[in-house]
């Protein structure tokens, strides 16, 4: 990996009133662009990695099934090839809509990566054609979806109506924001308006379903599209409809019930459902609570967040392998789906918009840099469907003492034998992170997440450029250059991380406002200033009774030397499943003292990747041998097998 400082260019949005329901507002997709190591990784993902290869790896599910067009579902269709094993179980009826999720989530991540990295060749060759193709599937009445006239909007059992539209329209609206193509916005609005008219607010019951499975639950995420349309058009009827969907979801008995108010209000209730649903549904509650201001919604949101804390690992990952099952997080025995990482990160970003609270930005960074990066293989060609904080092996199953047949705990570019869902979602997570890095505020800009970015917009009609140079999260210094073509009043709000012990700002005056550093002034010409956050090594305690070592936004792990076993090949050079086992028998019980001292050093002999440059040197206690041992801990995001959490020294 090339080591160099990152550079960000930013032009600010015009000062306008935000929605009455938000403290911050996202800038348009494409306004913020990554640079440095993040740019390199995203570019590699689309040119050589799993993000850009999925359609070639599983063409039957991504390319051959024109599920939004000629292959729409009708009463004559009783099966779809989704590439996984079938048993004839009742729940497999959901396979009928699965390819819509696979295709649309993959395209959402793929096109965002292309738009954010500025790859004009791929955009012109692939993305523009994809968007035109999807718009061409619209019926005369505006319908865009996966059902023929004999099935659409008449569902009484499991279906993917709202979910197929939601996953498709998220990507199409991102394309509109990045390109300004109004035909796309008009087509999506017409299709969404048709859904709202066919299932009218206060009359229809779209969630009054028997034998519902995953598609019906995912359908609640139609609120993502409604939320974006409200922001783009200023039309609050889309948010009104989002509240209607949330209310209707609460009226009926459904299998994915963690978000229902009765369960949230029950102090004894623990999350039980499919983790992905549990964490994506948080957005529906946030939108309903802040659009209406209703006390019962806001109270339920508080209770949701209290319950959430019990299912987060030390790396910030929400458990669910695949179901939560009422468990608390444990570093070794509870895993997390990559889908859940993306959905919780997205939900945190909506919380950040509505509340303006820095804690959600802290959680976004912690989740991405540790759990999400730590579930990618360093070669960039595969991800783990399920990963655990303490990863002692990747042989298909979670628990080494209970090696039941399970294929989720391995690295794969597609995971076709299980479900092609986590790989597409892994391609979405970095673009969604970039989208949350900077938000518009009534008087300027909020710098939420640190790292390289490039934004193009205006402040009060005046172009403003901000360069940020940093190798964050591997260093604690952020260097800014603000350039304004004309004198302009602008307020910059820079997040003060929760892990920071102090801050040093040179070249500009700031006011500390809680968790934000505010620089309010008139900018003219070019102004440079820097922000350095003080950080010390921290020993973190977890509810599981274990402890972990952190430095700034990075969680550190004891790497475990491993051997890799090649599994299924996908017919493309370099793309295959990877299993990993320890190179030697793991017979040591490692413990961590509460006063253990570690120091930051340059890494040695690390698997190449963006997280290979730094390490922590210190000591762990080997209880098995009754001695203290010098160790070098690596950032969790740069490991395959590892131990993150340790029992305290007795």
Reported as a pLDDT band with limits 50, 70 and 90, residue 3 is very low
**pLDDT value at residue 283:** 98
Percent of the chain at pLDDT exceeding 90: 82
**pLDDT value at residue 87:** 61
| 1: pLDDT strictly greater than 50 | no
pLDDT tens per residue across span 289-300 = 999 999 999 999
Q: Quick one: angle between helices 275-292 and 237-251, nearest 10?
A: 130
**pLDDT value at residue 458:** 83
Q: What is the 3-state secondary structure (H, E, C) of 574-603?
A: CCEEEEEEECCCCCCCEEECCCCCCEEEEC
Q: 334 to each of 71, 395, 462, 568, how far by Cα in Å?
A: 39, 15, 51, 26
**pLDDT value at residue 399:** 61
Please, are residues 349 and 432 in contact by the beta-carbon 8 Å criterion?
yes
Pick from 586, 602, 643: nearest CA to 620? 643
Separation CA 500–CA 498 (nearest Å): 6
* Domain locations along the chain: 49-216
**pLDDT value at residue 21:** 66
pLDDT tens per residue across span 110-124 = 999 999 999 999 999
With 0-12 / 13-18 / 19 or more C-beta atoms within 10 angstroms meaning exposed / middle / buried, residue 608 is exposed
Percent of the chain at pLDDT exceeding 70: 94
- Summarize the confidence of residues 564-571 as an average pLDDT: 94
pLDDT, the chain, mean: 92
Radius of gyration of the chain (CA): 24
| 348: pLDDT strictly greater than 70 | yes
| Alpha helix ranges (H) inside 180-213 | 182-198
Q: Which residue did the predictor score with more confidence, 570 or 89? A: 570
Indicate the length of the chain as a whole number.
650
Running DSSP on this structure, what letter comes out for residue 317?
P
Q: pTM to 2 decimals?
A: 0.95
SS3 115: helix
pLDDT tens per residue across span 365-421 = 999 999 999 999 999 999 999 999 999 999 987 665 554 556 899 999 999 999 999
Separation CA 50–CA 57 (nearest Å): 9
CA dihedral 59, 29, 435, 317 (to 10 degrees): -30
């Amino acid at each position: 990996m090339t080591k160099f400082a990152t550079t960000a260019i930013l032009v600010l949005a015009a000062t306008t009133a935000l929605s009455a329901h938000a403290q911050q507002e996202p800038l348009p997709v494409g306004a913020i662009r990554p640079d440095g190591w993040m740019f390199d990784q995203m570019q590699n993902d689309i040119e050589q990695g799993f993000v850009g290869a999925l359609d070639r790896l599983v063409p039957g599910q991504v390319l051959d099934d024109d599920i939004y067009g000629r292959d729409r579902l009708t009463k004559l269709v009783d099966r779809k090839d989704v590439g996984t094993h079938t048993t004839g179980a009742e729940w497999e009826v959901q396979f009928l809509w699965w390819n819509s999720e696979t295709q649309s989530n993959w395209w959402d991540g793929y096109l965002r990566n292309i738009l954010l990295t500025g790859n004009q060749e791929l955009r012109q060759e692939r993305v523009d054609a994809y968007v035109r193709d999807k718009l061409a599937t619209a019926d005369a009445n505006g319908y865009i979806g996966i059902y023929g006239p004999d099935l659409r909007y008449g569902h009484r059992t499991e279906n993917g109506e709202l979910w197929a539209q939601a996953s498709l329209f998220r990507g199409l609206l991102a394309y509109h924001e990045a390109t300004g193509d109004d035909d796309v916005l008009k087509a999506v609005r017409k299709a969404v308006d048709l859904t709202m008219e066919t299932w009218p607010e206060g009359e229809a019951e779209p969630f009054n379903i028997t034998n519902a499975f995953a598609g019906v639950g995912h359908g609640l995420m139609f609120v993502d599209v409604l939320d974006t349309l409200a922001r783009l058009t200023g039309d609050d009827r889309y948010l009104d409809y989002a509240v209607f969907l949330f209310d209707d979801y609460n009226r009926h008995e459904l299998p994915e019930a963690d978000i229902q108010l009765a369960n949230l209000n029950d102090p004894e209730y623990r999350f039980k459902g499919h983790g992905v649903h549990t964490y994506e549904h948080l957005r529906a509650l946030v939108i309903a609570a802040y659009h209406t201001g209703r006390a019962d919604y806001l109270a339920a949101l508080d209770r949701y967040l209290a319950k959430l804390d019990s299912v987060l690992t030390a790396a910030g990952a929400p458990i669910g392998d695949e179901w939560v099952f009422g468990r608390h997080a444990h570093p070794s025995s509870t895993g997390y789906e990559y889908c859940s990482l993306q959905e919780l990160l997205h939900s945190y970003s909506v919380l950040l918009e509505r509340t303006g609270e820095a804690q959600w930005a802290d959680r976004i960074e912690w989740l991405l840099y540790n759990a999400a990066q730590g579930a990618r293989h360093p070669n960039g060609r595969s991800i783990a469907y399920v990963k655990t904080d303490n990863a002692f092996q990747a042989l298909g199953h979670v628990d080494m003492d209970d090696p039941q047949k399970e294929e989720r705990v391995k690295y794969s570019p597609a995971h076709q034998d299980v479900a092609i869902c986590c790989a597409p979602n892994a391609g979405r997570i970095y673009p969604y992170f970039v989208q949350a890095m900077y938000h518009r505020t009534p008087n300027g800009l909020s710098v939420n997440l640190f790292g390289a970015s490039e934004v193009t917009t205006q402040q009060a009609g005046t172009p403003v450029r901000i360069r940020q140079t940093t190798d964050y999260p591997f260093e604690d210094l952020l260097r800014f250059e603000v350039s304004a073509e004309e004198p302009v009043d602008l307020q910059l709000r820079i997040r003060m991380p929760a892990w920071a012990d102090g801050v040093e700002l040179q070249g500009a005056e700031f006011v500390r406002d809680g968790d934000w550093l505010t620089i309010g002034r008139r900018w003219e010409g070019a102004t440079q200033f820097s922000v350095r956050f003080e950080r010390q090594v921290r020993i973190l305690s977890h509810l599981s009774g274990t402890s972990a070592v952190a430095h700034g936004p990075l969680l550190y792990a004891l790497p475990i030397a491993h051997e890799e076993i090649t599994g299924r090949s996908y017919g493309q050079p370099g793309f295959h499943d990877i299993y990993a086992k320890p190179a030697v028998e793991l017979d040591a019980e490692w413990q961590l003292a509460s006063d253990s001292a570690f120091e930051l050093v340059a890494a040695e002999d690390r698997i190449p990747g963006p997280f290979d440059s730094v390490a922590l040197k210190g000591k762990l206690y080997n209880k098995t041998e009754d001695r203290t041992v010098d160790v070098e801990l690596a950032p969790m995001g740069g490991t395959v097998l590892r131990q993150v959490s340790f029992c305290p020294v007795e």
